[in-house]
Amino acid sequence: MKLFVDTWGWVALEDGMDPQHKAAAKCYKDAAGAGRYIFTSDFVLDETFTLLFKRRPFEEASRFARGLLKSEFIAVEAVSPKHFQKAFDLRHTFRDKPGISFTDLTSMAIMQHHKITGVLTGDRHFVQVGLGFHLLP
């Protein structure tokens, strides 16, 4: 199974004081240990880095961010024009769910493209859309 890590997942993994840190770390470790592909996107990392550098000491945030970017088993998918258009189409499909961020919609487009169903997130929108995604941990 492939795993997509959302902003919530990265922040929970970085912050040892987060109530979901241990569960998120176990999920991530299990996926990495099983040789599963771990995906994220440039839009997700944009959100993640913005939050981390705002909330955490600079050196700590920098160390975590550099580790993500250097990892050999994390695929950072760029939001292509095709993904962007698909996300825009999803925005119209889910007009009744205005709380879904456009970044989440781009993540959903990437997940559909790569046939990824598991997402490390606390964001219920991934389930509410009914596209077959399931939340981890």
Q: Which CATH architecture has domain 3-136?
A: 3-Layer(aba) Sandwich (3.40)
Give me the percent of the chain exceeding a pLDDT of 70. Answer: 100
* pLDDT (tens digit per residue) in 60-90: 999 999 999 999 889 999 999 999 999 999 9
Q: Is the pLDDT of residue 26 over 80?
A: yes
107-126: average pLDDT: 97
Residue 37 pLDDT: 83
Cα distances (angstroms) measured from residue 19 to each of 23, 42, 50, 84: 9, 26, 21, 33
Q: Is the pLDDT of residue 6 over 90?
A: yes
